[in-house]
Amino acid sequence: KQEVTQIPAALSVPEGENLVLNCSFTDSAIYNLQWFRQDPGKGLTSLLLIQSSQREQTSGRLNASLDKSSGRSTLYIAASQPGDSATYLCAVKNDYKLSFGAGTTVTVRA
């Protein structure tokens, strides 16, 4: 059974600082890994998807890396802004389904 862990559970940084969010998973036989953002009371928005054959994906200020053999992914958010405050969820795909971590709740202080 796939287990996904995200550390830290919560993070508070001043505006402008870079964010580093960690995700680990127990079964490395994944199809892909996705990072999502969830705002309070809202659904999830897909940020980045990394296929199992890829090492990283970038979108604007966001960069996600994947080390499948060690079961780890890191999401980097450069030059954080108050609008980046949200919960970030990592999910891995095995056997046609996604397994989610509990998320890292980020607060960016103005």
Q: Name the residues that contact other proteins, by CB under 8 A.
A: 32, 34, 36, 41-46, 49, 51, 87, 89, 91, 93, 96-100, 102-103
**Whole-number minimum distance, CB 65 to other proteins, in Å?**
18
Tell the smallest beta-carbon distance from residue 43 to other proteins (Å): 4
Cβ closer to other proteins: 11 or 44?
44
Q: How far is the CB of 42 from other proteins (least distance, A)?
A: 6
CA angle 15, 19, 21 (to 5 degrees): 150
d(CA 59, CA 98): 22
CA 71, CA 6: separation in Å to the nearest integer?
Answer: 12
Rank residues 73 and 87 by Cβ distance to other proteins and give the closer one. 87
| Torsion from C-alpha of 12, 41, 1, 55, nearest 10 degrees | -60
